Amino acid sequence: MKKIIFATLMTCTSLGANAAPVTFFDTISAGQSQYTSTVNTAGGTTDILTLSGMSAGNFWDFGYFSITSDSTRSIASPGTDSLTGQSVSGNGFNTSLLTFDFDSAINGFGFELGDWGTCCFPSSVELAFDGGAFQTVGTMTSEFDNPSYPNSNYFGNGVFIGAINDTGTFNSVTFRATQGGDVFEAGGTIYSSLVGINSVVVSVPEPTSIALLGLGLAGLGYSRKKKTA
């Protein structure tokens, strides 16, 4: 019976790993900490760059990666909405796209986002990898959904948005918002990471795993009852 329980626990671990992209939506400091911890636990590596030297336009090159906008954007200074570096203004457009292209393949990405959740609810932010389907990373249905709330000037506090998908690698990430009105200042400090395939383990088992564990424990109870009889 010990073997059955061991096998069940192993199933929990394997099913909890790599089930879906791991997403991050929190305050800047907490989000960056969670993201870095996840990458480090998976044995991955991370490049970190705080944006600077930018001026209005639609293309910015930072050496190992570049940012392209589908329209001319203005640039916000560091400190705007508490972002740590310069950021690209979204000008309030909900369908406006911002694409980050990397020279080397990655499978983890994170950045800071300001002036989101100040109006026009509900509003979600989404990421697409290598031109694939957009995936929701975070949603605000009211100001209470801002991770920095309560704060007397909650909309002045930026958030960290990110995702790690260890099922493969990609070279580009496209960002968009589902609702207009907010400015969506994107940038600050950029995190790009590479982790091993299937290396990120989700600590909480999925419902299927929990059910299997229950079956294993039930089997143990049956075995003890049979011996007693």
Residue 204's pLDDT band, with cuts at 50, 70 and 90, is low
Q: 209 or 193: which carries more pLDDT confidence?
A: 193
Q: Which amino acid is at 110?
A: G
Question: Spelled out in words, what is the top-level CATH class assigned to the domain 20-200?
Answer: mainly beta
What are the sequence ranges of the domains in the chain?
1-17+204-229, 20-200
pLDDT for residue 28:
96
Residue 201: pLDDT band (50, 70, 90) is: confident
More confident residue, 169 or 120: 169
**3-state SS record for the chain:** CHHHHHHHHHHHHHHHECCCCEEEEEEHHHHHHHHHHHHHHCCCEEEEEECCCCCCEEEEECCCEEEEEEEEECEECCCHHHCCCCEECCCCCCCCCEEEEEEEEECEEEEEEECCCCCCCCEEEEEEECCCCCEEEEEECCHHHCCCCCCCCHHHCCEEEEEECCCCCEEEEEEEECCCCCCCEEEEEEEEEECCCCCCECCCCCHHHHHHHHHHHHHHHHHHHHHHC
Q: Give the model's pLDDT for residue 13.
A: 38
Residue 9 falls in which region: left (phi positive, over 0), alpha (psi -120 to 50) or beta: alpha
- Can you tell me the mean pLDDT for 31-36? 98
Do 162 and 108 contact (CB within 8 A), yes or no?
yes
Q: Tell me whether strands 57-61 and 123-129 are parallel, antiparallel or unpaired.
A: unpaired
* Pairing between β-strand 22-27 and β-strand 159-164 as defined by DSSP bridges: antiparallel
As a whole number, mean pLDDT of residues 28-39 equals 97
Give pLDDT, residue 2.
37
Q: Which carries the bigger pLDDT value, residue 125 or residue 212? A: 125
Per-residue pLDDT tens over the stretch 15-24 = 334 457 899 9
